[in-house]
Amino acid sequence: MRPRRAAVFSLHTSPLEQPGTGDAGGMNVYIAQTARRLAEMGTEVEIFTRATSSDLPPIAELAPGVLVRNVVAGPFEGLDKNELPSQLCAFAAGALRVEARHEPGHYDLVHSHYWLSGQVGWLARERWGVPLVHTAHTLGKVKNASLAAGDTPEPRVRVLGEEQVVDEADMLVANTGFEAEDLINSYDADPDQVATIPPGVDLDVFTPGETRTARAGLDVPADAVVLAFVGRIQPLKAPDVLLRAAAELLRRSPELRSRLVVLVVGGPSGSGLERPEALQQMAVNLGIADVVRFLPPRAGDDLARVYRAADVIAVPSHNESFGLVALEAQACGTPVVAASVGGLPVAVSHDTSGLLVDGHRTEAWADALGALVHDPGMRERLAANAAGHAARFSWNRTTEMLLDAYAQAKLMFNARLRTEEVTA
C-alpha cells in the first residue's frame, strides 16, 4: 500500500531555505525531514515549490530519492505572501505540465502543506486520480482567534480556501489532538478523515552538550544567566514578551544585571514588530539594551549551541500549531518556558521538562523565568527530564505514521470514487 512516488506541494516556501526568517520556519523543517525519511523507507518524493530566484535550477536534489522542483509562477522576487493566491493557477499549470511529461501514474499520492498548496493539491487529485493528504500547519480561524496586537487578521479568502481543502482532501494530518479538534469543530472535518501525527526532532543534531563550551562559542561568559528566544521575529511569536519579562526580572533582582544575557535568534518575518530594529528599540526603552543580543538565523550545530548555552528557552507565542523550537531546546537538555497555547502543552511537559504560562502578562512570565533562574534545583530537575521528553518525538516515528495516513487516504479515496460512481 506504500506509495512509490509522492508529489509534495510546498508552494509558498522552499524546504531548501534557511528556517527562522521570512516565511521559512517549522514547515520547511517538517517537509525536508519527512521527505528524507520517506525516501529511505521506499517512497520517492518530489517537492514542488515556487521559484523565488532566476538563479534556481528547475530541479535540485535535496537527498537521495528527494527532488525539489522549482516551479516558475509569477515574479521571482517581491511577491508578498498575500499576493500568492494570484499565482495558484500558474503554479498548478507548472505542476500539471511536469506530470504530463511522465507516464500516467507517475505520482500515486499528493501531500499538500498549507492551504495554498492544498488548493493545487485538490486540482492534482482530480486530474491524476490519486489521493490527497493535506497538512494545514496553521489554520486561519484559529490564528484569528489569538491575534497579537499589531497582527493583521488572516483574510477571508484563506478561510474559504481552507474550508474547500478540508472538503476535498482524503486525509488531513493534524500535529496534535488540539489541532484535530479545531479541524473537526471549526472546519467540519469528518473525524475519520483526521490523523493526529506529532512532528519530530532531529535527535542526532539536537543533543545535550557542555554549556560552558557552547557559551564560549557564542562569546557568552560561563557564569552568565542566559535566556533565549529562537524563531522568526514576528508579533505572533512574541519575543517582546521575553524582553518585558527580562526587564521585570532585573527590576526585581538588580544584582542579576551583571550576569544576565538575553539572546534573540532569528530574522524578520511579516510586518510590524517583526523589524528587529523595533525590538532593539524596545530593549532600549525598557533599559535592557546592554543585556540583549540579537543574532541572525543559524542552522544545525550552530543552533544546537544556542540551545545548550541557554539556561532557559522562552517560547511566548500567541499561537503555535506545535513549536519545534521547544522540542529542539529540550532535546539539547534545556528547559523551556512556553505559552500554554496551541500544541505547546504537548511539546512541553509542564513542571517536568519546562513550565507552561497562561497568557502573556509580564509578571507571570517574570515569575516563571525567575523560578528557573533563582532555583537551580528546579532548573536542574527540568533540564534532567528535558531530553527524555523530547526523545519521545522522532522524525522516523512521524514518517511511519505519515505512511499509515497515506494508506488510509488510499482507502478513503477508493471509497469516495465508488460513491461518486454510484451517484453519477
Contacting residues toward ligand UDP, per CB under 6 A: 19-20, 25-27, 29, 230-232, 265-266, 297-299, 303, 322-325, 328
Residue 113 backbone phi and psi in degrees, to 5: -120, 125
Task: Tell me whether residue 308 is annotated as binding.
Answer: yes
Closest CB to ligand UDP among residues 212, 298: 298
Nearest distance in Å: CB 322, ligand UDP: 6
Alpha helices in 218-352 (DSSP H): 239-252, 276-285, 300-309, 324-331, 344-347
Task: Tell me whether residue 28 is annotated as binding.
Answer: yes
Amino acid at 296: P
Closest CB to ligand UDP among residues 67, 325: 325
Task: Dig out the grid coordinates for 282 from the structure.
Answer: 524596545
Task: Tell me whether residue 18 is annotated as binding.
Answer: yes
Nearest distance in Å: CB 417, ligand UDP: 35
Nearest distance in Å: CB 323, ligand UDP: 5
Q: What is the largest CA-CA distance in the chain?
A: 76
C-alpha to C-alpha distances, 322 to 151, 200, 366, nearest whole angstrom: 20, 10, 23
Nearest distance in Å: CB 267, ligand UDP: 7
Task: Tell me whether residue 310 is annotated as binding.
Answer: yes
Give the H/E segment covering residue 106.
none
Q: How many residues does the chain have?
A: 424
Closest CB to ligand UDP among residues 204, 223: 204
Closest CB to ligand UDP among residues 124, 197: 197
Residue 292 backbone phi and psi in degrees, to 5: -95, 130
Neighbouring residues of 93: CB distance < 8 A, sequence distance ≥ 6 = 73
Distance CA 107, CA 99 (A): 8
Task: Tell me whether residue 143 is annotated as binding.
Answer: no
Residue nearest to ligand UDP (CB): 25
Task: Tell me whether residue 202 is annotated as binding.
Answer: no
Calculate the CA dihedral of residues 96, 97, 103, 106 and round it to 10 degrees.
Answer: -40
Task: Tell me whether residue 401 is annotated as binding.
Answer: no
Closest CB to ligand UDP among residues 240, 328: 328
Nearest distance in Å: CB 20, ligand UDP: 2
Task: Dig out the grid coordinates for 247 from the structure.
Answer: 526587564
Closest CB to ligand UDP among residues 224, 327: 327
Task: Tell me whether residue 158 is annotated as binding.
Answer: yes
Nearest distance in Å: CB 324, ligand UDP: 4
Distance CA 161, CA 277 (A): 34
Closest CB to ligand UDP among residues 3, 267: 267
Neighbouring residues of 149: CB distance < 8 A, sequence distance ≥ 6 = 235
Annotated binding-site members for UDP-N-acetyl-alpha-D-glucosamine: 18-19, 26, 232, 237, 298, 320, 328
Annotated binding-site members for Mg(2+): 307-308, 310, 334
Annotated binding-site members for 1D-myo-inositol 3-phosphate: 12, 23-28, 81, 114, 138, 158
